[in-house]
Chain A
């Protein structure tokens, strides 16, 4: 009787934890979306922001967010995946490896505002990049890289060792085994990790305040020469992203519709982060099924 009661209590505790968690998420999402979505329309998404008048949009900010995201992933994904493979497969257990692993962990837990300050010092000033997309992407790489390293290492380690043995026992070299057995099996996990980290980069504000800047040139979406100052593709121009925009209008906006803009931007931000998360799952599953040949 007693044991049965304990069992019941344990079940109740776990279920209520899950309920609290889900309820918080649903409430948050519901609140942001119901408040924000009414402000979001095509015009909001495709018009320039205004600094004093009502009715500004978020076109440039949205573009900047994606651009910085892509540049960050281009910098951090290849490096991170290779680093993860190194740690999982090549690093011999020892002091050096421990130092590397600890550094990676510390790097990923640095407060993003500190990474922003670091970026300001190193990328913006010392390297002379100025407030720019590239400086912002480099700062984001600083804490995105460790996440990708970690995800890759974990995914590769979670491939059953019997798979690796099977390949090695067939007279296949370590590198070829990594390439054709371990990485493919770990790929869904790695991809999911990268897409999830993409959600984090997309929503990051603090690290970008001091690196990508708070303003955007008047972008001309017909000028695709990346060296033109008004070109959306120019990586050396300053770029205010969506989340920085939310922070900026909230703290220093003087337009009359500050609340509406912030709410609308937040809704758009959340929707994209949700899209990244859902895509991560769906694509991961599809690729897993494809690789394993199961349907």
Chain B
């Protein structure tokens, strides 16, 4: 990871809390590099506490660039907490606190001074339940763009391109001013993905994105994820092990807040090293 190294050498850069400053020198690697393995994010000894309860325990793992990393494990194992830590959504919870580091682009994003607003633009998130704003379809996408004061003509383009990217353009182009709530659950979820993509993030965090959807809608969202990983780094939490096996490149199995096993999906599912991983993926417990 050559570019990251350069950054880490520069200590002052390290100390800059404002991510905006770095944006000018932003290095956006071309999408053609998606075959190479490059670590985009590094979790170092990461712990998350809710008051005295340690929900995530001393986790070390990389999240590789332009790959899909799946987090699996039984309910309450801390996988959603871990995901929500990556874009600091846990800051919302007043009793939540972090230990350890998440290094992203040479910066520990858990530091207090990091501007979470800028961070969340780079690290988008899609939630378990589709949560479009109760506004027209188009406004769902323009909401954040207007906040960022993008010029009008640019906004129009982004609406179209992000809906196309989310494979929703054909279904919605004639009714962009209808309420987003008139869409089906699967369409709403793809709208939420489009809404996140409109900000041109580098990372997409998906928290059980298909668990509230029917099988056909789920399949569409899965196809979309496969398509998106060419351009984005994706971390997905899922309850569905078939899904993890189908769509992810790397899988992390968590249990009780511990990272039990992390590795390439194909290897982890066929030849797990840990007994508990084997038991879980073979359905002995859930």
Q: Which A residues have a C-beta under 8 Å from some C-beta of B?
A: 92-93, 160, 162-163, 165-173, 176, 180-181, 185, 291-294
Compute how far the CA of A51 lies from the CA of B133 in the bound complex, rounded to whole angstroms: 59
**B177 contacts the other chain (CB 8 A):** yes
Contacts A162-B127, A162-B129 hold; do A170 and B120 have CB atoms under 8 A apart? Answer: yes
B144, B181, B196: which has the most chain A beta carbons within 10 Å?
B144
Nearest chain B residue, comparing its CB with the CB of A295:
B179
Nearest chain A residue, comparing its CB with the CB of B178:
A293
A294 and B179 contacting across the interface, CB-CB below 8 Å = yes
Contacts A93-B94, A293-B179 hold; do A166 and B132 have CB atoms under 8 A apart? Answer: yes
A292 cross-chain contacts in B, Cβ below 8 A: 134-135, 179, 181
B120 and A166 contacting across the interface, CB-CB below 8 Å = no
A181 cross-chain contacts in B, Cβ below 8 A: 133, 143
B87 and A169 contacting across the interface, CB-CB below 8 Å = yes
Contacts A169-B120, A171-B144, A293-B139 hold; do A163 and B177 have CB atoms under 8 A apart? Answer: no
B82 CB → nearest A CB, Å = 16
B199 and A170 contacting across the interface, CB-CB below 8 Å = yes
User: Could you mark each residue 145-178 of chain B with 1 if its beta carbon is under 8 Å from any beta carbon of chain A, else 0?
Assistant: 0011000000000000000000000000000011
B118, B178, B179, B192: which has the most chain A beta carbons within 10 Å?
B179
**B271 contacts the other chain (CB 8 A):** no
**B32 contacts the other chain (CB 8 A):** no
A159 CB → nearest B CB, Å = 10
B182 CB → nearest A CB, Å = 7
Residues in B189-245 with C-beta less than 8 Å from chain A = 192, 195-196, 199
A244 CB → nearest B CB, Å = 43
A294 and B92 contacting across the interface, CB-CB below 8 Å = no
B182 cross-chain contacts in A, Cβ below 8 A: 294
Contacts A165-B127, A166-B132, A166-B192 hold; do A171 and B121 have CB atoms under 8 A apart? Answer: yes
Selected contact of A168 from candidates B89, B118, B134, CB within 8 Å: B89
A171 and B136 contacting across the interface, CB-CB below 8 Å = no
Selected contact of A291 from candidates B89, B135, B199, CB within 8 Å: B135
**B117 contacts the other chain (CB 8 A):** yes
**B186 contacts the other chain (CB 8 A):** no
B124, B131, B177, B195: which has the most chain A beta carbons within 10 Å?
B131
Nearest chain B residue, comparing its CB with the CB of A292:
B134
Nearest chain A residue, comparing its CB with the CB of B129:
A162
B198 CB → nearest A CB, Å = 8
Contacts A92-B94, A166-B127 hold; do A185 and B134 have CB atoms under 8 A apart? Answer: yes
A153 CB → nearest B CB, Å = 17
Contacts A93-B94, A293-B178, A294-B181 hold; do A169 and B133 have CB atoms under 8 A apart? Answer: no
A-B contact pairs, 24 of them (CB 8 A): A92-B94, A160-B131, A163-B133, A165-B92, A166-B133, A166-B192, A166-B195, A167-B143, A168-B120, A169-B89, A169-B124, A170-B124, A171-B118, A171-B121, A171-B148, A172-B117, A172-B143, A172-B147, A173-B117, A292-B134, A293-B139, A293-B180, A294-B181, A294-B182
Contacts A168-B120, A170-B195 hold; do A162 and B131 have CB atoms under 8 A apart? Answer: yes
Selected contact of B147 from candidates A93, A162, A163, A176, CB within 8 Å: A176
B120 CB → nearest A CB, Å = 4
B139 cross-chain contacts in A, Cβ below 8 A: 293
Nearest chain A residue, comparing its CB with the CB of B121:
A171
B117 cross-chain contacts in A, Cβ below 8 A: 171-173
Compute how far the CA of A170 lies from the CA of B179 in the bound complex, rounded to whole angstroms: 19
A205 CB → nearest B CB, Å = 41
Compute how far the CA of A172 lies from the CA of B118 in the bound complex, rounded to whole angstroms: 9
A168 and B147 contacting across the interface, CB-CB below 8 Å = no
B129 and A293 contacting across the interface, CB-CB below 8 Å = no
A165, A166, A171, A292: which has the most chain B beta carbons within 10 Å?
A171
A168 cross-chain contacts in B, Cβ below 8 A: 89, 92, 120
A285 CB → nearest B CB, Å = 14
B94 and A170 contacting across the interface, CB-CB below 8 Å = no
